[in-house]
């Protein structure tokens, strides 16, 4: 599965370093050529001899050894750099471009995609600094894997355990199995927007963001550098995805337009409000009379604006949630908004649309080609949409 793949396994100083030995064996068994780099503290947990007995070549753990330019040679040689386990200290140094050991020098010299598997104690993992460092690394396009939950070496219980070697191995195999999105920049919107009426009330819709979050997670799993612009949802930020939270259509418009030009793929899955109150009351509105009229004005159509300014080669994808004449409405939106692909949901299909864990979609591309899919989990639907996008990228 990993035949002819050249991988740098970068091991930093954590008790989880012993799992890197199993990971190394798994990578080798799958056919990869693996070079190991370590920080000076790794040897406190696992000796270099253990790694060099299993790896290809000796362990690179000393910037001041015989071959001073080894970090550059390794950085240009590899197809993938896998940092596992990545300690809080190594993550922090990577996020800030520090370079005081062999592992960090290889990281800065690496031209290949970098996958990072963190391991540390729960409080260290949850610390806002560590989370900010993980977000910064993800925003740079590196693939940050989640941690697992459970008993930690400290005796505490919580998030922070290194993923099991076979799970990391599966991620590496998946990375090479679907390289189509590796190095691609993908912008995805998700969830509803909220249009304020007064300080306590707003207009919104039933979107939960599940479809957009599933797309973001799946695109990241396939190697893309993903930015998610999300309206208010109760979902956690997907691992390895730069997530920006916004409220109104205007906020979403500004966040998307500021980032759209540099993207290879833009997917507007958010359920954006088409209208917003003309005025937002500064104080809570008091009830008066039997009727209340709120005057609304049109919001900017984000997708339409994106279609008008689409850079050459960018794939622009919209959603259409319809209740009648579904296909005709979807085709019209595809044309009017200058899209490459539209994802059609019908509210008439049971199990499709808002709040469900499943969805039933029809894809229509710019040539008019139509593909109808059965009811599937939103994760599988995300895979179907991304498969279609990849085929359009290659046209």
Give me 376's structure tokens: 């599937």
Phi-psi category of residue 329: left, alpha or beta, with phi > 0 → left and psi -120 to 50 → alpha: alpha
In 3D, which of 380, 259, 242, 390 has the Cα closest to residue 317?
390
Query: Please, what is the minimum distance in Å from the beta carbon of residue 324 to ligand CTP?
Result: 11
Query: What backbone torsions phi and psi does residue 316 show, to the nearest 5 degrees?
Result: -115, 125
**Residue 263 CB, nearest approach to ligand CTP (Å):** 15
Q: Which of 89, 101, 133, 205 is catalytic?
A: 205
11 within 8 A of 44, measured Cβ to Cβ: no
Classify each residue of 199-222 as buried b or exposed e, where b means 16 or more C-beta atoms within 10 Å of its C-beta. eeebbbeebbbbbbbbbbbbbbbb
Q: How far is the CB of 249 from ligand CTP (least distance, A)?
A: 5
Question: Minimum distance from CB of 215 to ligand CTP (Å)?
Answer: 12
Provide the minimum distance between the beta carbon of 376 and ligand CTP in the complex, in angstroms, as a whole number.
20
The pairs formed by 104-109 with CB atoms below 8 angstroms and a separation of 24 or more are 104/39, 105/63, 105/71, 106/8, 106/10, 106/37, 106/60, 106/71, 106/74, 106/75, 106/81, 107/10, 107/75, 107/81, 107/83, 108/71, 108/75, 109/71, 109/72, 109/74, 109/75, 109/76
Active site residue 345: no
Integer distance in angstroms from the first to the last C-alpha of the chain? Answer: 27
Q: Are β-strands 315-322 and 265-268 bridged in parallel, bridged antiparallel, or unpaired?
A: parallel
CB 2 within 8 A of CB 30: yes
Q: How far is the CB of 267 from ligand CTP (least distance, A)?
A: 8
The whole-angstrom separation of Cα 168 and Cα 170 is 5
The answer to whether residues 266 and 185 touch, using CB atoms and an 8 Å cutoff, is no
Taking the CA atoms of the chain, what radius of gyration do you get in angstroms? 24
* Residue 255, number of CB atoms within 10 A of its CB: 19
Minimum Å distance from CB 2 to ligand CTP?
38
For residue 1, how many other CB atoms are within 10 A of its CB?
15
Applying CB under 6 A, the residues found at the interface with ligand CTP are: 249, 268, 270, 272, 274, 299, 301-303, 318-321, 333
The answer to whether 69 touches 6, Cβ cutoff 8 Å, is: no
Residues labelled catalytic: 205
């Amino acid at each position: 599965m990993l035949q002819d793949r050249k991988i740098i396994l970068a091991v930093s100083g954590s008790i989880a370093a012993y799992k890197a030995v199993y990971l190394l064996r798994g990578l080798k068994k799958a056919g990869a050529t693996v070079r190991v780099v370590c920080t000076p503290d790794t040897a406190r947990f696992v000796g270099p001899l253990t790694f060099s007995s299993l790896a290809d070549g000796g362990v690179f753990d000393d910037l001041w050894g015989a071959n001073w330019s080894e970090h550059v040679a390794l950085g240009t040689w590899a197809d993938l750099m896998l940092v596992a386990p990545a300690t809080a200290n190594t993550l922090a140094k990577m996020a800030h471009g520090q370079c005081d050991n062999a592992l960090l020098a290889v990281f800065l010299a690496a031209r290949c995609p970098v996958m990072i598997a963190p391991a540390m104690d729960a409080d260290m993992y949850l610390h806002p600094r560590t989370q900010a460092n993980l977000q910064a690394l993800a925003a740079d396009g590196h693939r940050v894997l989640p941690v697992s939950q459970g008993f930690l070496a400290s005796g505490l219980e919580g998030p922070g355990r290194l993923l099991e070697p076979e799970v990391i191995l599966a991620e590496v195999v998946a990375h090479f199995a679907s390289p189509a999105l590796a190095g691609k920049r993908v912008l995805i919107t998700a969830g509803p927007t909220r249009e304020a009426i007064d300080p306590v009330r707003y207009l919104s819709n039933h979107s939960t963001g599940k479809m957009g979050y599933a797309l973001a997670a799946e695109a990241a799993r396939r190697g893309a550098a993903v930015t998610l612009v999300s309206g208010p949802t109760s979902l956690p930020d997907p691992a390895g995805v730069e997530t920006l939270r916004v409220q109104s259509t205007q906020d979403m418009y500004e966040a998307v337009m500021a980032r759209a030009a540099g993207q290879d793929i833009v997917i507007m899955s958010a359920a954006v409000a088409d209208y917003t109150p003309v005025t937002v009351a500064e104080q809570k509105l008091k009830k008066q009379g039997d009727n209340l009229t709120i005057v609304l004005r049109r919001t900017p159509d984000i997708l339409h604006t994106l279609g008008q300014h689409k850079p050459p080669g960018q794939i622009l994808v919209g959603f259409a949630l319809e209740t009648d004449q579904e296909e005709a409405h979807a085709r019209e939106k595809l044309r009017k908004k200058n899209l490459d692909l539209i994802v059609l949901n019908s509210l008439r299909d049971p199990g499709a649309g808002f709040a469900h864990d499943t969805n039933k979609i029809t894809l229509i591309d710019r040539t008019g080609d139509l593909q109808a899919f059965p009811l599937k989990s939103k994760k599988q639907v995300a895979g179907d949409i991304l498969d279609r996008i990849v085929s359009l990228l290659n046209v």
